[in-house]
Amino acid sequence: MEKAQAYIRIQELREIINEANRKYYVDNSPAMSDYEFDMLLKELEALEGRYPEFITEDSPTRKVGSDLKNTGKKQKEFEQYPHRYPMLSLGNTYDIAEVQAFADRASKGIGNAFTYSCELKFDGTAICLTYRNGKLARALTRGDGAVGDDVTANVRNISNIPQELKVPAGFVPTLMDPQPWPEEFEIRGEIYMPWPAFDRLNEERLKDEEQPFANPRNAASGSLKLIDSSMVANRGLECTLYHMLGEDLPFQTHDQALKAAASWGLPVSDKRKICRSIDEIEEFITHWDTERKTLLFATDGIVIKINELPYQEELGYTAKFPRWAVAYKFKAEQALTKLLSIDYQVGRTGAVTPVANLEPVQLSGTVVKRASLHNADQMSQLDIHIGDYVYVEKGGEIIPKITGVELSRREADAVLPSFPETCPDCGTRLIRDEQEAKSFCPNQTGCPTQIKGRLVHFLSRKAMNVIAGEATIEQLYNKALVWNAADFYELQKEHLLTLDGWKEKSAERFLKSLDESRKVPFERVLYALGIRYVGETTAKSVARAFGNIEAIKNATVEELLKTDDIGQVIAESIYEFFRDDMNLDTVERLKAAGLKFETESGPVKLSEKLAGKTIVISGNFSISRDDMKALIVAHGGKSSGSVSGKTAYLLAGEKPGPEKIKKAESLGVEIIGEDEFRKMIE
C-alpha cells in the first residue's frame, strides 16, 4: 500500500473504530462482533507501525474506549472523577502463538523465573472500587481510562459487593496492623449479568416489544447506568474482582493479593490457576473453551498475567495496555445449517418481525430450529435467500442469530425473500418506523394478533396476574366475549361455561382471580395497559413521578421527559396513547371496574407547607429521586427538572450536578440539603 493510500485507510479505520467504540460503550448496542473489531484494530496498528508519522495521540490504538456519555448538550447523568491509577485495557489475541510471543517478551524483559496467573475473562463492564478503612467509598466505571463515572449509589445495590469488609478468622490486631487490610486501596473487576438474570430481562423486553440486549455485557453496562439506583437491585447483577492497587501493598504476588481480598469477603473468582509454562497455559485455555458453556455467566476468554508484582512493575505499560498481561479470546461458536423458510410474526404492538426456520442444528448444548432476522434491513444486508446455508451463532450464547451466508453453497433456484407490504394477519398496509428500522401494522383495533397479544399481556403475571393462558384468550376472542381489557370485568360465569373444557370450578377460579386483580398497584396497571415501549420499570418510574392516571394523561411530552429513565421515544409513545379516544374509553371502563389508577399515597396531600414553591432536585438522597419528587408534591410543592428564576429551592443531595449548582448560584436560588428540606415539611 502506498503512503497516500495508507493515510486514507488509517483515517477510515479510525472513524469506523471510534463509531464502533461509541456504540459498544455508550449505546450498549454493538455494531460488529468482537472479532471483527479486533481485526480492524490490528490492521490500524499495523499501518501505524509502518507509517509512524501518521500516529496521533487520539488514535484508537493509543486510547481506551470510553463509556462516558456527556456530550455537553445536557446535564451529566453521573458525576465524574479521575482515576488514581489509569484504568487501561488489555491486548487481545485469538492465537496461542501470540500468547507464546507474549511469554517470550516477558521472559526476556524479566530475565528470572516467574509464574503466570490464568483467569477467566468475564464478559461484563469494568468497575473500580475504592475501600477506605474497610468501607466502600467510591465506585467508578472505566470511563476513558483517566476519568470515570461515579456509580457508587448503583453499586451499593449489587448484592455480592460488600459495603464493609469482614475481618478474617484468626486475625489479631496490633498497633502496627490495627486492621487486616490497607487503610485505602482500589480493587478492580467486572460487573456482569448471569445467564438466568439476562434471560429474564430479555424475556420482559421482548414481551414489551423493546429491543432485547445483544448480550449480557450490554445488559450489565446498561443496568449499571440506570438513573434510579433502586432499579439496579432488580437486575440481578453480580461482580468478580481481579486486580488490587494501592500504596505499599503487603503482597509479593497477584495471587496473594486476591486470596487476601477473598478473606475480607470480596468476590474473587476461584476459577484461576497458577501456571509455569506455555503448555500449562494452553491446557487451561483448552479446558475452559469447553467448560465455559456450563457456567452461569458469560466468559469470552482467558486473561494471562505475570503473577509476581515486582515483575509487573518492571515490565510496565504501553499507552493503552499493561505489558504484563494479555487476553486470549475464544472464538464465537457457529453452526452452518439450511434456511427452510421465513415467517413474519406480528406482535401485540404491531411490530412485524421476520423469523427464520432452520434445519435443526446443535449449538452450545441446545438444538436451534429458529433464529430472528430482526427487520428488512438485516435481511437485505445479509443478502439472504430461501434455501441458503447460513451461519448461526447465539447472541450472548443465548439468542440464536444469523450472522452470515455461505455463498459458495447457494443453489441456482434459491429465492430472494420479499418483506411483506401488508400485515400477514389482517392485510393492512404496513408502515415503517425509520428510527427502529421496523415495520408496523397500524390496525391496532382490528388486527386479531395485536388484540389477542394485548389481552394476554394485560392478564400476565407481572401485569394483572389473572389465571388465564393464551388458549383461554383465543376462545374468549373467537366467541366475541372479550375484545379489549375492560371486557374481562364484564364477564359472567355463564359466559365462561361456554368455553371448551370449562366447568363451575374453573370459571369460579378465573372470576376470583379477576376480582383479586382489582388490588394490583397502579404501576402494574399502567404496565398492563400495554403502551408501546413502556416496560415494567418504566411504568414504575412514571407512576411514582405523576401519582395518578389523570396527571399522566394530561402531561406534555416535555413533562414526561423530566421523569427518570424516560427518553424522547417513550415520552412521545405515552403522550400519543392518551390522545386516542379508544384508549381513553378503555381506561374509563377499567376505572369503573374498580382498578387502581393512582399510587397508594395518590392525590392525598400531607400538607400545604410547600404550596406555591417550585423545587429542583439534584444528586442522590436517602430515598429514590422519584420518591423525593413525590414528597415535594405531597406537601403542595411542584417538582421541576431545571433551575430558573421561578425556582424556590435547589434541593441538593450527595454529588449534585455542578451545572445546576452553578445556575442556582447565578440566579440567587437558595440551595438546601435533605435535612433542611425534611425540617421544612415536618
Residue labelled with grid coordinates 376505572: 591
- Contact 164/135 with Cβ under 8 angstroms? yes
Q: What's the Cα-to-Cα distance from 66 to each of 125, 299, 369, 565, 679, rounded to whole Å?
A: 11, 21, 38, 21, 42
The pLDDT of residue 210: 66
- CA-nearest of 30, 374, 28 to 219 is 28
The edge-to-edge listing of strands for the beta sheet with 647-652 is 638-640, 614-618, 647-652, 670-672
What is the third-level CATH fold of 522-592?
DNA polymerase; domain 1 (1.10.150)
CA distance 435 to 424: 22
Cβ atoms of residues 415 and 445 within 8 Å:
no
- pTM of the model as a whole: 0.55
**Across the chain, what does the average pLDDT equal?**
87
Cα(440)–Cα(450) distance, integer angstroms: 11
pLDDT at 209 over 70: no
What percentage of the chain has pLDDT greater than the value 70? 93
- Chain-centre distance for alpha carbon 492: 43
Q: Which range (480-489, 563-572, 588-597) has the least confidence? A: 563-572
Q: What is the pLDDT of residue 298?
A: 84
**638 is an active site residue:** no
Question: Quick one: three-class SS letters along 606-629?
Answer: CCCCCCCCEEEEECECCCCHHHHH
pLDDT at residue 540 is higher than 50: yes
Reported as a single tens digit per residue, the pLDDT across 281-292 is 999 999 998 888
Tell me how far apart the 2 most distant CA atoms of the chain are, in Å: 88
Strand-strand pairing, 80-82 and 614-618: unpaired
Name the CATH superfamily, with its identifier, for domain 3-54: Helix hairpin bin (1.10.287.610)
Residue 367 β-bridge partners? 362
Instruction: Give the pLDDT score at 76.
Output: 47
For residue 156, give the C-alpha cell: 451499593
The per-residue pLDDT for 631 is 83
Cell 449499571 locates to 224
What does the alpha-carbon distance between residue 482 and residue 489 come to, in Å, rounded to a whole number? 10
Structure confidence at residue 435 (pLDDT): 67
- Check if the beta carbon of residue 269 is closer than 8 Å to that of residue 119: yes
| C-beta separation of 186 from 86 below 8 A | no
Nearest-CA neighbor of 402 among 430, 440, 433, 361? Answer: 361
Which are the contacts of 185, defined by CB distance < 8 A and separation ≥ 6? Answer: 130, 131, 244, 245, 246, 249
R_g of the chain computed on alpha carbons = 28
Q: CATH 3.30.470.30: does it fit domain 80-329?
A: yes
Helical spans, DSSP H, in 383-492? 448-459, 470-478
Residue 199: the pLDDT is 80
Place of cell 493510500: 5
Q: Which amino acid is it at 317? A: Y
**Count of other CB atoms within 10 angstroms of residue 589:** 16
Residue 565 confidence (pLDDT):
65
Confidence bin at 655 (pLDDT 50/70/90): confident
User: What per-residue confidence (pLDDT) applies to 73?
Assistant: 35
Highest mean pLDDT pick, 10-19, 347-356, 435-444, 632-641 = 347-356
* Number of neighbouring beta carbons within 10 Å of residue 367: 8
Quote the DSSP letter at residue 361: E
pLDDT, average across residues 78-91:
88
Q: Burial of 195 by CB count in 10 Å (0-12 exposed, 13-18 middle, 19+ buried)?
A: middle
Mean pLDDT of 192-220: 79
CATH architecture of 335-419: Beta Barrel (2.40)
Q: Domain locations in the chain?
A: 3-54, 80-329, 335-419, 448-519, 522-592, 614-680
CATH number for the segment(s) 448-519: 1.10.150.20
Fold match flag (3-54 vs 335-419)? no
Does the domain made of 614-680 have the CATH classification 3.30.470.30?
Answer: no
Q: Which of 63, 121, 540, 596 is catalytic?
A: 121
| Of 55-69, 450-464, 622-636, highest mean pLDDT | 450-464
Mean pLDDT, rounded, for 515-531: 94
Report residue 511 as a C-alpha cell.
372470576
Cβ pair 616, 650 in contact under 8 A: yes
Angle between helices 195-207 and 216-224 (to 10 degrees): 80
**Of residues 75 and 202, which shows the higher confidence score?**
202
Query: CB neighbours of 232 closer than 8 A, spacing ≥ 6?
Result: 154, 157, 158, 223, 224, 226
